[in-house]
Structure 1
Amino acid sequence: MIAKNHIQVFEYQLLQCGDVFKRKHLAALSKLNALNNDCYFDLRYNGVKFKNFVGVLQVENLTIEILPKVDTQEDNTALWQGVLIDMLKTTKKLNISKVGKANVSKQNLHLLDIYFQWFLDEVEVLIHQGLIKQYYRKTGNVKALKGKLEFAGHLRKNLVHKERFYTTHQVYAKDHLIHQVLSFALSIIEKFSKGTYVYSRCKSVQLNFPEVSKINIDSRSFTRIKLNRKSAPYKTALEIARFIILQYAPNIKHGQENMIALLFDMNSLWEEFIYISLKRHLPGKYTIHAQNTKKFWKPNSGYNSNMRPDIVINRGMQDCIVLDTKWKNIKKSSPVPNDLRQLYVYHDYYSAQKVALIYPGNSSSLSSGFYYEKYGEKLSNKECGLISIQVNRNIKKWQFDIAQEIDNWIKNS
């Protein structure tokens, strides 16, 4: 769907330059992609073809939503936007309880707006509770000697003004790193929400937020923040601020466009969604582990190579179930050989009773096959299941169906 300053596309869809998506936007996207090892999309003549990353991009005033999609015949953008939002909410990458689904539909908010609103909600709560003060070091001229006198700076700045002292001293105030990070995130939201309801909310929050020093914020800034009992309520706001700030690319590689990109690997999101669904709904007799790592190969020098299946379900000491999740619709075709080979290795290395590939689909289906023995033409007892689970807009029902399908497959051992 293409509207003024707003484009909705699906993963693996081609977007070419036109009246809304212009060559300057394409140039900015290509620079962003290059900075991220070309993982987000492939460049095409006069356009881009998106990959398995979904979410939202904004270049200046143009917003591009990239939505997941299983059924090639279904172009319902509202449906797939809802699926994405619910999956992000389930995996704790998004919280829309305060924004509300009704407001999302009514205001036609896209994913970027929802993240901005979530952040503004958190900051408003902090303001209402009372913003904290912290000690921080400040270097500058003061009229009374306190702290450490900086001799070189004092001689350079105060040869005439004998009544001043150039010192480094501690200050107890609201102008500290935590508030500087939040203020910088607010300035990004202000920049990217002009002309929307979110913009007026952001300006209102900024009016109630204290004036703080403007500093450069990067990933190292967040490692310097150590939360304690007093600053613990800032945890969620800082997590959202980190996500917004680290995805913000002003004047990317000397270009002119401001850009922000909130993108998620759909394969990783599907894996986490399956794991959470199983943990929530499978009977207590199972123990479920995600990313269960085992050492696999050691070179003469350098790092080990590890084996890391998506999900391992243990059923006692003698056997286990290994699941590998794939966000793609195989329909009636067979899985690719590399996926089958990968699951075969899990069979041996984890002494698994059964292994399975888990897919989304237009309908739920269950089938399986057996690997041949290493020698000869006979089939072994090593089974690999193919479990396709129908996408359901009712997220709770979908999670229950996922657990039920996998539980039924396990019981039919």
Structure 2
Amino acid sequence: MKISVLEHEKIYFATKTDITNKRISEKYKQLLFQLEEKQQNKLFKWGRNFVTPQQWVGIIHFSDLTIEILPKIADEIPLEKTRGILINMLKVVHDIPVRDQIESEFAFIKNGLLDILVAFFIKELEIQLRKGTFKTYCKTKKRLNKIKGSLDISEQINNIFMVDKFSCKYSYYTADNLLNQIIKYTLTLIATLGISSANKTAVKRLLVLFKEVSYRNIQSIDVENFKLDRLNQRYDTILKMCKMFIHSYSFEIKCGENVLDFMLFDMNRLFERFIYKTLQKIYGSRVQAQVTKNYLLKSLESGKQKIMMKPDIVLYNKDSAIIIDTKWKVIRSFVSEADVYQMNAYSHSFHNIESSVLLYPKSTSNDRVVGSYEIQSNIEKKILLIKTIDLGQAARMSVFRKELIKLLEGRENSADSR
């Protein structure tokens, strides 16, 4: 069973689960409550007879029910297109270049978000495994009946009376290396999720190919620190997908005999990284994220600087710069005072700021406040731009890049010409 909802859409409580009317029973309510407590994040808004997902999107999987939460991209976009746009955003954020033949194969799949991501991963892994399993040479020491490799003289002397054994040092060719351990862990993780029977079968088939690879409990930091070289560079996409699954997935929570696992993405962070990665594709090194060079305060006594300024994105031009802060929210009446104060501080703390931009996802509500504003100041007048970007265009990234250029530069331009 699967219930698909948008963020901020109500899921009602009932005596019996009803997927058609998006109602869940008491046991699922309790599990969701436990999930929020365990994560120590505000995942949901709770009402007397309903729960509303907030800015976290993805999959919450129970033993017999999956809740798919999709972002509210725009006012009138069907779930299938919303799902596709979210997948595009995840691919951009995690630098996952899905091959054209894989993309076209799944273009019309109406399965859930997780099934499509898993299918991409399976197909890419199959392509690499057809070229051969990645193996490395490992050094080892063993006492053997005959000499293999080279003799370890010092060890042999220490065991001089064991005349029937030789202390040998040698290398052997094996698939049991960290890269394959990361892949095996990811496959094992995926196998526990609520995916289609076809994907489950494919994952089990792939796990058989990794039977000589030892199981290791991989953490996000292990994948982060792993560096590819020229021998295994072809696994770049696989490694990025492993990182996405491992970083986003959390193991099961138990409530009595009921179990849930989940893979959730914070849309605040995802929207910010998506805009940054897209701008980076257009402008290259002129774009920087989370710039931490400036401070708001400096102690007159000690000279120490306090309150680090950290805008989401800075776009550097030849003699000026634009500060961009992304906001994944729906504006009720006007942008928040805190956001404006923050942009004012950025504008006066960084040198040669041409303008600052508060960037929201496009919606009827958000479009009402779009405009150019002058920040009143006795020091220097600064311009604040309130803009929205249509994520519905993210189904085609070339179109979306063009829209982003037009938004920032105020004119038509071609993303491909840069």
Q: TM-score, normalised by structure 1?
A: 0.76
What is the CA-CA distance between 1:339 and the residue it aligns to?
A: 1.0
User: Could you tell me which residue of structure 2 aligns to residue 385 of structure 1?
Assistant: 385
User: Could you tell me which residue of structure 2 aligns to residue 62 of structure 1?
Assistant: 65
Quote the Cα distance in structure 2 between the aligned partners of 1:256 and 1:308.
45
User: Could you tell me which residue of structure 1 aligns to residue 120 of structure 2?
Assistant: 118
What is the CA-CA distance between 1:133 and the residue it aligns to?
A: 2.6
Deviations 1:337-386 (A, max 9, x none): 111111111221124232221222246685122233459xxxx7332222
User: Could you tell me which residue of structure 2 aligns to residue 294 of structure 1?
Assistant: 293
User: Could you tell me which residue of structure 1 aligns to residue 327 of structure 2?
Assistant: 326
Would the alpha carbon gap of residues 78 and 292 (structure 1) be closer, same or farther in structure 2, given more than 3 Å must change? same
**Structure-to-structure mapping, 1:132-147, within 5 angstroms:** 132-136=134-138
What is the CA-CA distance between 1:51 and the residue it aligns to?
A: 1.8
User: Could you tell me which residue of structure 2 aligns to residue 345 of structure 1?
Assistant: 345
The size of the alignment, in residue pairs, is 385
Would the alpha carbon gap of residues 278 and 219 (structure 1) be closer, same or farther in structure 2, given more than 3 Å must change? closer
Would the alpha carbon gap of residues 175 and 13 (structure 1) be closer, same or farther in structure 2, given more than 3 Å must change? same
2:317 is matched by which residue type in structure 1?
R
**Structure-to-structure mapping, 1:173-188, within 5 angstroms:** 173-188=174-189
Answering whether residue 316 of structure 2 is matched by residue 314 of structure 1, we say yes
User: Could you tell me which residue of structure 1 aligns to residue 238 of structure 2?
Assistant: 237
What is the CA-CA distance between 1:195 and the residue it aligns to?
A: 4.8
2:231 is matched by which residue type in structure 1?
K
Quote the Cα distance in structure 2 between the aligned partners of 1:140 and 1:214.
23
User: Could you tell me which residue of structure 2 aligns to residue 274 of structure 1?
Assistant: 275
**Secondary structure, counterpart of 2:85 in structure 1:** helix
| Preserved CA contact (<8 Å) 1:250 1:258 | no
**Structure-to-structure mapping, 1:6-405, within 5 angstroms:** 6-18=2-14, 19=17, 21-45=24-48, 48-71=51-74, 74=76, 76-92=78-94, 94-97=96-99, 98-100=101-103, 103-106=106-109, 108-136=110-138, 172-192=173-193, 195-219=196-220, 221-222=222-223, 225-252=226-253, 256=257, 259-280=260-281, 287-296=286-295, 297=297, 305-317=307-319, 319-330=320-331, 333-351=333-351, 352-362=353-363, 366-374=370-378, 381-393=381-393, 394-395=395-396, 396-405=398-407
Would the alpha carbon gap of residues 246 and 370 (structure 1) be closer, same or farther in structure 2, given more than 3 Å must change? closer
What is the CA-CA distance between 1:307 and the residue it aligns to?
A: 0.6
Would the alpha carbon gap of residues 199 and 302 (structure 1) be closer, same or farther in structure 2, given more than 3 Å must change? farther
Deviations 1:66-109 (A, max 9, x none): 111154x5373223223222222333455544432563434x22
Quote the Cα distance in structure 2 between the aligned partners of 1:85 and 1:370.
37
What is the CA-CA distance between 1:48 and the residue it aligns to?
A: 3.6
Quote the Cα distance in structure 2 between the aligned partners of 1:279 and 1:246.
23
Would the alpha carbon gap of residues 132 and 207 (structure 1) be closer, same or farther in structure 2, given more than 3 Å must change? same
**Secondary structure, counterpart of 1:252 in structure 2:** strand
1:337 is matched by which residue type in structure 2?
E
Runs of at least 5 residues in structure 2 that lack an aligned partner in the other structure: 156-163, 413-418
1:313 is matched by which residue type in structure 2?
L
1:372 is matched by which residue type in structure 2?
Q
What is the CA-CA distance between 1:114 and the residue it aligns to?
A: 2.0
Would the alpha carbon gap of residues 311 and 246 (structure 1) be closer, same or farther in structure 2, given more than 3 Å must change? closer
Runs of at least 5 residues in structure 1 that lack an aligned partner in the other structure: 152-162
Range with bigger deviation, 93-102 or 392-401: 93-102
| Preserved CA contact (<8 Å) 1:127 1:209 | no
Quote the Cα distance in structure 2 between the aligned partners of 1:257 and 1:212.
32
Would the alpha carbon gap of residues 182 and 388 (structure 1) be closer, same or farther in structure 2, given more than 3 Å must change? closer
Would the alpha carbon gap of residues 9 and 306 (structure 1) be closer, same or farther in structure 2, given more than 3 Å must change? same
**Secondary structure, counterpart of 2:130 in structure 1:** helix
Quote the Cα distance in structure 1 between the aligned partners of 2:218 and 2:303.
37
Would the alpha carbon gap of residues 249 and 27 (structure 1) be closer, same or farther in structure 2, given more than 3 Å must change? farther
Range with bigger deviation, 319-328 or 223-232: 223-232
The CA RMSD over aligned residues, in Å, is 4.1
Would the alpha carbon gap of residues 195 and 408 (structure 1) be closer, same or farther in structure 2, given more than 3 Å must change? closer
**Secondary structure, counterpart of 2:3 in structure 1:** strand
